[in-house]
Amino acid sequence: MAAERSSEARVCADRNAVAIDQIVERYRHVRGVTEALCAPLATEDYVVQSMPDVSPTKWHLAHTTWFFETFVLLPSAPTYRSFHPQFGYLFNSYYNAVGSRHCRARRGLLTRPTVDEVFDYRRHVDRALIKLLEAGALGGDELLATITLGVHHEQQHQELILTDIKHVFSCNPLRPSYTESVGQADSPGAPLAWVAFPERLGWLGHDGAGFAYDNETPRHRVFGEAFALASRPVTNGEFLRFIDAGGYSRADLWLSDGWNAVQGQQWCAPLYWERREGRWWAMTLSGMRELDMHEPVCHVSFYEADAYARWAGTRLPTEAEWETAATTVDVAGHFADSGRLHPAPAVASPTSKLTQVFGDVWEWTKSAYAAYPGYHQPAGAFGEYNGKFMCNQLVLRGGSCVTPPDHIRATYRNFFPPDARWQFSGIRLARDM
Amino acid sequence: MAAERSSEARVCADRNAVAIDQIVERYRHVRGVTEALCAPLATEDYVVQSMPDVSPTKWHLAHTTWFFETFVLLPSAPTYRSFHPQFGYLFNSYYNAVGSRHCRARRGLLTRPTVDEVFDYRRHVDRALIKLLEAGALGGDELLATITLGVHHEQQHQELILTDIKHVFSCNPLRPSYTESVGQADSPGAPLAWVAFPERLGWLGHDGAGFAYDNETPRHRVFGEAFALASRPVTNGEFLRFIDAGGYSRADLWLSDGWNAVQGQQWCAPLYWERREGRWWAMTLSGMRELDMHEPVCHVSFYEADAYARWAGTRLPTEAEWETAATTVDVAGHFADSGRLHPAPAVASPTSKLTQVFGDVWEWTKSAYAAYPGYHQPAGAFGEYNGKFMCNQLVLRGGSCVTPPDHIRATYRNFFPPDARWQFSGIRLARDM
Amino acid sequence: MAAERSSEARVCADRNAVAIDQIVERYRHVRGVTEALCAPLATEDYVVQSMPDVSPTKWHLAHTTWFFETFVLLPSAPTYRSFHPQFGYLFNSYYNAVGSRHCRARRGLLTRPTVDEVFDYRRHVDRALIKLLEAGALGGDELLATITLGVHHEQQHQELILTDIKHVFSCNPLRPSYTESVGQADSPGAPLAWVAFPERLGWLGHDGAGFAYDNETPRHRVFGEAFALASRPVTNGEFLRFIDAGGYSRADLWLSDGWNAVQGQQWCAPLYWERREGRWWAMTLSGMRELDMHEPVCHVSFYEADAYARWAGTRLPTEAEWETAATTVDVAGHFADSGRLHPAPAVASPTSKLTQVFGDVWEWTKSAYAAYPGYHQPAGAFGEYNGKFMCNQLVLRGGSCVTPPDHIRATYRNFFPPDARWQFSGIRLARDM
Amino acid sequence: MAAERSSEARVCADRNAVAIDQIVERYRHVRGVTEALCAPLATEDYVVQSMPDVSPTKWHLAHTTWFFETFVLLPSAPTYRSFHPQFGYLFNSYYNAVGSRHCRARRGLLTRPTVDEVFDYRRHVDRALIKLLEAGALGGDELLATITLGVHHEQQHQELILTDIKHVFSCNPLRPSYTESVGQADSPGAPLAWVAFPERLGWLGHDGAGFAYDNETPRHRVFGEAFALASRPVTNGEFLRFIDAGGYSRADLWLSDGWNAVQGQQWCAPLYWERREGRWWAMTLSGMRELDMHEPVCHVSFYEADAYARWAGTRLPTEAEWETAATTVDVAGHFADSGRLHPAPAVASPTSKLTQVFGDVWEWTKSAYAAYPGYHQPAGAFGEYNGKFMCNQLVLRGGSCVTPPDHIRATYRNFFPPDARWQFSGIRLARDM
C-alpha cells in the first residue's frame, strides 16, 4: 500500500521560469528510461503481482501514463480524447478524490490491456502531452508544476519496477535473472568508523531551491544533542554475526511488534537470503549469488534494523540527525544508472568520513513518518499523496542502487511500514556522544 | 483443489488390442485440440490465476505434458531426456507419490517458463512419445493404458482451460471475450415435463467396455424406489422466479452450510450474473450478454441447486437415479466442439422425453461423492487421483457445453465441493412418485 | 455448529396413549439428571466457551429450558409469563424460524444471567410445565410429542455438557478434574475378531415403535453385499502402532481434505493425547492419565478413522452395514449413568461376537449424512433441526460413555463434520467378504 | 496487547528515604482499592475475556499479585513458598525474560483457579510481603523501588479492570450495570476557547522528584514553535456534528490506515454509541444512557481524533505541546475515586483557561510513542516493560475518569495503537499560531 505514495505530492515548484524545451527534453528522457528498464522482460513478466505491495510492470507503465492523462491532458488539453474510457478506473492508484478504482490486490488479475496496448497508451499520451507543451498553451506555473511532479512520480515507479520484478522473480523456483550484469564485489570493504556531530538548534526540511515533495516542507528548526554516525552501512558479514549470535531467537533484542513478526513470519535472515549446504546465498536481479560479506546488508525490515542496532549496543539515527549529516556530503553514489542494481561494498578512505550516504541502500531511521510542524496538506487529489500516510510508517533516507540518480536529495523522505522488506533497505548506525 | 482430479485415475483399459496407429492418431488429435483452444488467447492471458481453484492456461498446457513425461517417457523411454530438471516440481498437480511440488495457490506467480517455452516443452514430449509409440517398444497393456489415461486427462484439462479463462476474464473490469461466436439463443425453449422410472434393483457403474475412470467401478447393484426426472434442466427464467420470490433471503430454503455461504459470500444470483439498470446480464465466453430466459441456468453451486429444488417442492436426483435415466438416451448434446461454449435452450419435443441429459450443463446430484462398494484404490501415484477426494464433495453428471464430445458417458462421475460455482453446473430436478 | 442439532427433530411420536403422570415423571427425572451433572462444577466453570463448537454449561442449562418455554409454554399455556424478555434471543440455538439470536461464537461472553439466575429460570419453567401437564390441559398428541422431543433434546445436551466441559478443562494448563471416579481399566482387553453378515435387500431406519428423530425415517429398503464387522472398536494400543508406523506423516493414507487437516492443524495424535517424557498421557474427565492401551481409541476425527482403516487394510462400515449388525445385539453398554465417563476396554468373550456396539465410543461410519429416500422435512421450526445439516457431515452410530442410557437405539443417527474431534468418537472396522 | 505495559517500568525511585510504615500503608491501601473495585461483580463477571486486548478481572487480580511474588518475594524472602507452582506461567503478562507464559488471547478460557482461590492468592502474598517489609529485611533501595513500581503497576490495572469490565458488559445484549452511580450531567458545558503558548526551547520529561516510569526520562530539551491549545476536550455534541456532516464517509478526512479501519470495521460512531429510534445512546458503567451532548466524547481511536481535528481545521497537539501546557495547571480533575466513572461536562470559567487537562478522558496526541533522546532501556525483565512497545503506538496524556487520582502527572505517557477504542480516550485540539 505504501509503495508509490511518496512520489505523489504537491510539488514545491521551482518558481524560476523553466524553458519549455527543457521540460520536453526532461519528459522524453524520463519516459524513455522507464521503457528501457523493461527491455529485459518477457511479455509474461509484465503481468504478475506476487504480493499486494507489488504491482505488475504493466500496471506501473500504465499508471504513470494515467497520471499525465488525468492531471494534465484531461483538464488542460481541450481536444484530448481519452485513450480508453475505463483506464481511469484501472490505473488510479489510491486517489479517492479522483473516483473509484480497481482494487490494489487484484492488479495481477488483469491480462488485458495487453503489454502492447499499454505501450500504445504511453505513445498516445506522450504525443498529446508533447504537443500540448510545444503549443505553448500551458496556462501557467501550476501545470508545469504538475508535469514536473509527474516526472518525479515516474522516476519513483522506475525504482518500483526494479524492486517489484525482483520480488516476482524471487517467487519463481527457477529464480530468473533480470540482468546479467550484477557483478561480483570489486572492493574488500572498509572498516567502520564514527563521525561526530555537535549539539545544535538546526534546520530540517527543504529550503525551496529545486523540486521537493510537500512532505519535505516546511523547513523548520529542531534541537538535537551531539551524536555520531557510522561511516558506512552495516555489511552482510556484520549482520551474519548477529544471526550467528542467535539474534533472531532472542526476544530481548526486539520491539514487541518486531518479535511478533519474527515469530509469525518465521524470519531467520533478511529477505532473499537462502542457506544452501552450509553457505548463504541471496537472490539478486541476476538470480541467486553467494553472499558477499562486504556488501551492505539489504532487504531488512525496520524491526531487523532496530534489533541489530540494539544488539550492537547502538541505535538507529533520527531523521534529523541523518539529514544534518547528509548535508555535509555530496549527493553521489551507486544509483540505478550504474546498471549494477545491487549494493556495493564500501571503499576504504584514508580519513574517516561518511560514505555511501546516498545510493546503495535506503537507510532506516528511528523516526516515525509524521508531518513537519506547520505542514499543510494540499487541497484536492495531490493532498492525498503524502499526508494520508503519516501513521504507522518509518522514515528511510538516502536512496538506493535502484533509485534514479537525479531523484534523490538530502531532504528526501521515503517511508514504509516497519515490517516491509522488499525494498532495498539497509542499516546505518548512530550513537549518543 | 478439485479441478483436475477426476481425470487422473487408473484406467480400466480396454483389453482388446488397440492398433498403435490409432493410438498415435488419437494422441495427436487430442493434443492438437488443446492447442487450438489457445488460439484466441494473448500471451498475457496464459499467466494469470484468478483464484486458487483456477490454473493459468500455461500451467494446463505444461501439466498435461508433464503427465506423459512423468508416467510414460521417464519410466519407459530409456534415451529420453527431461526437457527441464525443475518442471517435474513446477507442473505436478497433487501427486504426493511423485514428490514435492509447487504450491497450487502460487501457480499464477510464475512468469517463466514463458508461453513459447511451454509450447517447446509440448513439442519435445510429443516427438518423444510418438517416436516411442512408433518404435513399437511399448512393453504391454499397462503403458498403453497410461497413455489412454493421459489422453482423457488432457481432455479434462481442455474443459478446465475454458472454465478457467472464463473466470479470469470475468475478474477484469473490461470483461474481455474469448470468442465472438457465442450466439443468441436459437430456440424458444420447451415446457418442463416429468419422465417416470419404476422401482428397481438395478446396476450402477461401468461395465468394462471402453475407457472409464476407477471411480466408476466396480459395477454393483443398487435398490431404488420409483422416481421421476425432469425432461430438461431448470432455465434462467425459472431460476429468476426463485430470486424474485426472495430465494436468497429465506433461510428455510437452504442447507445450514449453504445459508452460511449465502451470507458469508453475499450471494444473490448465480456466478457471473450482473444486474444493470434493471435487467440481468451474464458473463459468457463472448463477454457480457443479456440473460436468455430459456437457457439452462448455469454456474450455480450445489447449495443453490438444492435450495431451488426445495423451493420448487422437488429435490435433486441421486446419482443412481440419474444414471438409470441416462442409460435410456444417447450420449449426444451440445459439447465443446460446437464452438458455442454456452448452454443452449431446450428444444421442444412432441413427446415428453429426456433432453439435454448430456452436454449444456453439468447436473448436480444429491449424492455425496464416495467409493462404490468394493472399490479399491489403485497402488502408486494413480491411486491418488480419485480416491483421495471422496469426502466433502457432491457428484455431478452429464458433461457440459465445454466438455469434449468423446469424453463423457452415462457412468462418468464428476465431483466438486458444494460451494463451487465456476464450473458450468446446472440443475435437473427429480421427485418421488 | 453441529453439536446440538440432531436432537431437535420432529418426534415420530408414539401413538399409543401415554399417561400424563409418566410424562411428568420422565420430565422430572431428565431435568434432574441434567442438574446433577452440574454438581461438580464451580460457578466459573459454567461460563466459558473454549471454541465455537463448545457451549458454556450455563448456556446448555438455559437453552434446554428455553426449548420448553418456546415450544410448549408460550404457545399452550395462556397465563404463562416469560421469565425474561431477552432470553428468547440469548438462548435460541439456530432456529431461524423462531427469530434472530445471539451469535453462537459469542456465547462465552455472557457473564449474565448468572448461574443462579439460570437455575431460577429452570425452576420457573419446570413449575409452569408441570402445572400445565397436571392440569390436563394439553390439547392433544402434538404437544405431548413436543414435550417428548424436548426431553430427548435435553438428554442430548447432557452429553454435550460432559463433552464440552472436558474440552474447557483441557484448555487449562492446570488440567482440572470433573470427577475423581474415572477408574483405571478393569480388563486386559480382547482380541479382534470378524463377524460376518450376508448379502441382503434389507430395511434401514426406524419402524415407528417408540421415539425416533425425523432423520431416522422413513424406513426403507437398501441392498448390500456381504460384509464383516470387527468384534470391538480399535484400541489405543492399535492406534499407537499406526502412529509409530508414521501414520500421521504418510500422505497416501489420507483423504485429501484429511491430509490438509493433518498439516494445517498439525495433528500427530488423537485430541487430548500428550507425550510426556516418552510416555503417552491423555486428558480425561478426571484430568491427565497415562494411556491405557486396551481402551478404545477416542477423540479421533473421521479423517483419522478413515486413515487408520486404510492403513489396516480395511475400511469403515456404511451406516446400513452398521445398523444391520446392531439390530442383532441388545442396546446395552457403558453409558453416562455408569459415572465412569470414559471408554472401557473390551471384555473377551468365548465366542466371537459383537461387543461394545452401544456405548463407550461413537463409531464413525463412511456414510455421508443425508436424507433417507422419501424423507420430508417437517414444516416450521422443527423442520430446521435435522434436515438442514445434511451436507458435509458423516454419520456416527452407537452412542458413547457420556450418552444417557435410554437415549440411544440401533437406528439413531449422530452426525459431525469430518474434522470434529472433541466428541467421544472412535473407530470400528469393516471389510468386504 | 498494549493494555498493561506502560505500568511496568523500571522505577526512577525517589532517592529520599521512605519510611517503611508509609510503604506498608500505601501497599495496603492500593491493594484494598483493587478489591473494593470488584465488590459490584458477580463471580461470573471475573472470568470473561471479550477480546484479546481485554483481560478477565480474575486475571488482573492474580497478575498484580504475581508481580509482587515474582519480583519481590521469590528473590528476596528466603522462606517464601510459591502459592502455586503454575501461577508463574498463568499470570505472567509478557515478560519474556521471566519465562514462558499462557497465551494472552486465551486468558478467558481459564475457569480455574476460581475467584476464591485468586483472593486466597492475594492474601497469601499480602501477608508475606507485609511480613517482609515489617521485618525490615529489605536490602536496599532497589527492593523498595520494585515495591513502589508494583504499587503503580497495580493502580494501572485498577484502571484496566474498569475499562475491561465495561467492554465485557457491552458485549452482553442485557447491557448490565457495574454501578448505579453514573449520574446525569450536572453542568451545561462550556464554550471552547484557545489558550496560547509561545515559541520555546523547553524541557520535556520527568525531573526526578517522585516516581516516574522509565519512558518519562531522560528530561531533555525540545524546540517548539508557538501554538494554541483548546480550553477543554471536544464534546459529544461537537463530535455528532462531525458525524452528521458525513465525517465517517469522507475519505479525505482520514489517514489512509484510518480509512481502512473505518471501512474494515464499519465504524460510524465512537465505540459504545448506539442509535435507537433516532436518538443516540451510549454504554456506560451504569448501562445504556442517552448521550449527553456536553460530556467529552470518549472511546474514540486516534484515527477518529485525527479525522475530527482535520475536519475542524485544526490538529492534535504534540506531546511536547501538551506537556508544556499541562505544567501550567494543577493535577486535579475527575478521577476514579469520584465513583462517577464517566467523563463530566466542562464547567464554564470566567477566564479562558485550560480545564479538564487531567482526568475525564485520555487525550490523544499526534506524537508516535518513541524513546526520548538518551533513553536507555533497563536491563532484565523491567527493561521489557516500556521500551519494547515503542513502535506503532501513539501517546495519550492526562488520565481519565477511571484513572486512580494519585497515579497521574504532567509527564505521564500512556500509549495505544491508533485503532484502540476501548480505553477512555478523547480529543483535545491544538492549532498553530
Cβ of B168 under 8 Å from any chain A Cβ?
yes
Cβ of C115 under 8 Å from any chain D Cβ?
yes
Q: Which residues contact C25 (CB under 8 A, 6 or more apart)?
A: none
pLDDT at B241 over 80: yes
Same domain, A215 and A262: yes
Same domain, C226 and C375: yes
C chain contacts of residue B252, beta-carbon cutoff 8 Å: 96-97, 383-384
Cis peptide bond prior to B113, omega within 30° of 0: yes
- Out of B1, B256, B373, closest to residue C389 by CB: B256
Among A389-398, A415-424, B373-382, C369-378, whose mean pLDDT is lowest?
A: B373-382
Q: Do chains D and C touch (3 or more CB pairs under 8 A)?
A: yes
Q: Quick one: what percent of chain C has pLDDT higher than 90? A: 82
Kind and range of the H or E element at D283?
strand D279-284
Cβ of D175 under 8 Å from any chain C Cβ?
no
Domain presence at residue D206: yes
Residue A137: predicted pLDDT? 59
Cβ atoms of D111 and D36 within 8 Å: the answer is no
Residue of A1, A204, A388, A395 to mutate when probing chain D, most D C-beta within 10 A = A388
Q: Do chains D and B touch (3 or more CB pairs under 8 A)?
A: no
C108 to D48: CB separation less than 8 angstroms, yes or no: yes
Task: Give the end of a domain, one of A170, A205, A223.
Answer: A170
- The whole-model pTM stands at 0.94
Alpha carbons B60 and B160: distance in angstroms, whole number:
8
CATH of the domain at A361: 3.90.1580.10
Residue D96: predicted pLDDT? 84
Residue C188: predicted pLDDT? 79
Domain presence at residue B179: no
* Mean of all residue pLDDT scores within chain A: 92
Query: Band of the pLDDT at C139, cuts 50, 70, 90?
Result: low
Residue D367: predicted pLDDT? 98
* Mean of all residue pLDDT scores within chain B: 92
B chain contacts of residue C94, beta-carbon cutoff 8 Å: 256
Residue B48: predicted pLDDT? 98
B48 to A176: CB separation less than 8 angstroms, yes or no: no
pLDDT at C1 over 70: no
SS3 percent helix, strand, coil of chain D, rounded to 5, is 40, 15, 50
Residue D139: predicted pLDDT? 60
Alpha carbons B369 and B416: distance in angstroms, whole number:
9
Cβ of D90 under 8 Å from any chain C Cβ?
yes
Cβ of A112 under 8 Å from any chain B Cβ?
yes
CATH of the domain at D35: 1.20.120.450
Cβ of D113 under 8 Å from any chain C Cβ?
yes
Q: What is the number of helices (H) and of strands (E) in chain A?
A: 10, 12
Mean pLDDT of B145-149: 93
Alpha carbons C128 and C65: distance in angstroms, whole number:
11
Residue A21: predicted pLDDT? 86
Domain presence at residue D176: no
Please report where in the chains the cell 417442492 appears, as a residue: B313
* D contact residues 223-242, partner A, Cβ 8 Å cutoff: 223-225
Q: Which residues contact A57 (CB under 8 A, 6 or more apart)?
A: A38, A41, A45, A46, A161, A164, A165
Distances in Å between the Cα of D176 and the Cα atoms of B160, C107, D165, D289 are 57, 16, 10, 12
> What are chain A's partners, defined as 3 or more CB pairs within 8 angstroms?
B, D
- Out of B221, B370, B384, closest to residue C223 by CB: B221
Residue D31: predicted pLDDT? 98
Same domain, B241 and B352: yes
D chain contacts of residue C86, beta-carbon cutoff 8 Å: 173-174
Pairing outcome for strands A227-230 and A194-197:
antiparallel
Residue of A199, A252, A377 to mutate when probing chain D, most D C-beta within 10 A = A252
Residue B55: predicted pLDDT? 97
Kind and range of the H or E element at A222?
strand A220-224
> What are chain C's partners, defined as 3 or more CB pairs within 8 angstroms?
B, D
Residue of B51, B53, B55, B111 to mutate when probing chain A, most A C-beta within 10 A = B111
Residue A95: predicted pLDDT? 85
Q: Which three cell numbers stand for residue C9?
A: 427433530
Alpha carbons C80 and C69: distance in angstroms, whole number:
9
Q: Which three cell numbers stand for residue C252?
A: 497416501
Cβ of B264 under 8 Å from any chain C Cβ?
no
The C-alpha of C287 sits at a distance from chain D's nearest C-alpha, in angstroms, of 13
Alpha carbons C336 and C104: distance in angstroms, whole number:
26
Q: Do chains A and C touch (3 or more CB pairs under 8 A)?
A: no
Same domain, A145 and A18: yes
Cβ atoms of D281 and D269 within 8 Å: the answer is no
Where do the H-state alpha helices sit in B265-318? Answer: 302-311
Q: Which residues contact B416 (CB under 8 A, 6 or more apart)?
A: B2, B302, B393, B394, B396, B423, B425
- 3-state class of A210 per DSSP? coil
A chain contacts of residue D257, beta-carbon cutoff 8 Å: 391-392
| Rg of chain B in Å (alpha carbons) | 22
Please report where in the chains the cell 519496477 appears, as a residue: A161
Alpha carbons C3 and C56: distance in angstroms, whole number:
13
Domain presence at residue C182: no
Cβ of D115 under 8 Å from any chain C Cβ?
yes
C chain contacts of residue D44, beta-carbon cutoff 8 Å: 43-44, 46-47, 58, 111-112, 114-115
Residue D6: predicted pLDDT? 35
Same domain, C74 and C139: yes
Task: Give the end of a domain, one of A114, A135, A170.
Answer: A170
B1 to C256: CB separation less than 8 angstroms, yes or no: yes
- Interface B–C counts its CB contacts (< 8 A) at 84
Distances in Å between the Cα of B165 and the Cα atoms of A107, B36, B426 are 17, 14, 19
pLDDT at C41 over 50: yes
DSSP A42-64: -GGGGT--SSTT---HHHHHHHH
> CA-based diameter of chain A, in Å?
66
Q: Which residue of B has its CA nearest to A171?
A: B109
Cβ of A101 under 8 Å from any chain B Cβ?
no
Domain presence at residue D180: no
Which among A403, A230, A395, A380 is positioned nearest to A308, based on CA atoms? A230
Q: pLDDT tens, D419-431?
A: 999 999 999 999 9
Mean pLDDT of B27-55: 98
Domain presence at residue D183: no
* Mean of all residue pLDDT scores within chain C: 92
The C-alpha of A245 sits at a distance from chain D's nearest C-alpha, in angstroms, of 17
Q: pLDDT tens, A286-306?
A: 999 999 999 999 999 999 999
Please report where in the chains the cell 463377524 appears, as a residue: C195
Q: pLDDT tens, A181-235?
A: 766 666 778 999 999 999 999 999 999 889 999 999 999 999 999 999 999 999 9
Q: Which three cell numbers stand for residue A181?
A: 550484469
> Rounded to the nearest 10 degrees, how much is the dihedral formed by the CA atoms of A368, A374, A378, A384?
20
Structural domain span for residue D353 = 194-432
Domain presence at residue A334: yes
Domain presence at residue C187: no
The C-alpha of A317 sits at a distance from chain D's nearest C-alpha, in angstroms, of 11
Cβ of C321 under 8 Å from any chain B Cβ?
no
Cβ of B42 under 8 Å from any chain A Cβ?
yes
Same domain, B145 and B213: no
> Rounded to the nearest 10 degrees, how much is the dihedral formed by the CA atoms of B37, B39, B42, B47?
30
D43 to C168: CB separation less than 8 angstroms, yes or no: no
Using alpha carbons only, give the angle C105, C108, C111 rounded to the nearest 5 degrees: 145
Alpha carbons B357 and B400: distance in angstroms, whole number:
9
Same domain, C355 and C420: yes
Burial readout B290-325 (b: 16 or more C-beta within 10 A, e: otherwise): ebbbbbbbbbbbbbbbbbbbbbbebbbbbbbbbbbb
D389 to A220: CB separation less than 8 angstroms, yes or no: no
Cβ of C281 under 8 Å from any chain B Cβ?
no
Query: Band of the pLDDT at A141, cuts 50, 70, 90?
Result: confident
C chain contacts of residue B373, beta-carbon cutoff 8 Å: 224-225, 318, 432
Q: Which three cell numbers stand for residue C227?
A: 460384509
Residue C194: predicted pLDDT? 97
Same domain, B32 and B102: yes
- Out of B109, B168, B173, closest to residue A89 by CB: B173
Q: pLDDT tens, C93-138?
A: 888 888 888 899 999 999 999 999 999 999 999 999 999 998 875 5
Q: pLDDT tens, D333-370?
A: 999 999 999 999 999 877 779 999 999 999 999 999 99
Domains in chain A: how many in total? 2
Cβ of B432 under 8 Å from any chain A Cβ?
no
Residue D142: predicted pLDDT? 83
pLDDT at B190 over 80: yes
The residue ranges of chain D whose pLDDT is under 70 are 1-18, 137-140, 182-186
Amino acid at site D21: D
Using alpha carbons only, give the angle A417, A421, A424 rounded to the nearest 5 degrees: 110
Task: Give the end of a domain, one of A155, A170, A185.
Answer: A170
- Out of C50, C86, C111, closest to residue D42 by CB: C111
B220 to C220: CB separation less than 8 angstroms, yes or no: no
Cβ of A43 under 8 Å from any chain D Cβ?
no
Same domain, B356 and B257: yes
Same domain, D231 and D103: no
Cis peptide bond prior to A113, omega within 30° of 0: yes
C chain contacts of residue D171, beta-carbon cutoff 8 Å: 106, 109-110
Helices C256-264, C302-311: crossing angle, 10 deg rounding: 110
Same domain, B80 and B117: yes
Which among A155, A212, A164, A182 is positioned nearest to A405, based on CA atoms? A155
Among A5-14, A208-217, B229-238, B301-310, whose mean pLDDT is lowest?
A: A5-14
Q: Which residues contact C73 (CB under 8 A, 6 or more apart)?
A: C80, C125, C128, C129, C132
Q: Which residue of D has its CA nearest to A201?
A: D223
D chain contacts of residue A224, beta-carbon cutoff 8 Å: 373
Which among C212, C144, C214 is positioned nearest to C407, based on CA atoms? C212
Q: Considering only residues C383 and B286, tell me which one the structure prediction assigns the higher pLDDT.
A: B286
Alpha carbons A287 and D243: distance in angstroms, whole number:
53
Q: Which residue of A has its CA nearest to D255?
A: A388
A chain contacts of residue B109, beta-carbon cutoff 8 Å: 48, 50, 168, 171-172
B43 to A45: CB separation less than 8 angstroms, yes or no: no
Burial readout D304-342 (b: 16 or more C-beta within 10 A, e: otherwise): bbbbbbbbbebbbbbbbbbbbbbeebebebbbbeeebbb
Q: pLDDT tens, A154-191?
A: 999 999 999 999 999 999 999 999 998 766 666 778 99
Query: Band of the pLDDT at B96, cuts 50, 70, 90?
Result: confident
A161: Cα separation from own chain's centroid: 10
Same domain, B78 and B224: no
Q: Which residues contact B166 (CB under 8 A, 6 or more apart)?
A: B178, B272, B283, B284, B285, B422
Mean pLDDT of A140-145: 82
Helices C141-170, C20-37: crossing angle, 10 deg rounding: 10
Distances in Å between the Cα of C402 and the Cα atoms of B322, C323, C338, C344 are 42, 21, 9, 12
Residue of C392, C394, C431 to mutate when probing chain B, most B C-beta within 10 A = C392
Alpha carbons B418 and B304: distance in angstroms, whole number:
9
Alpha carbons D267 and A295: distance in angstroms, whole number:
48
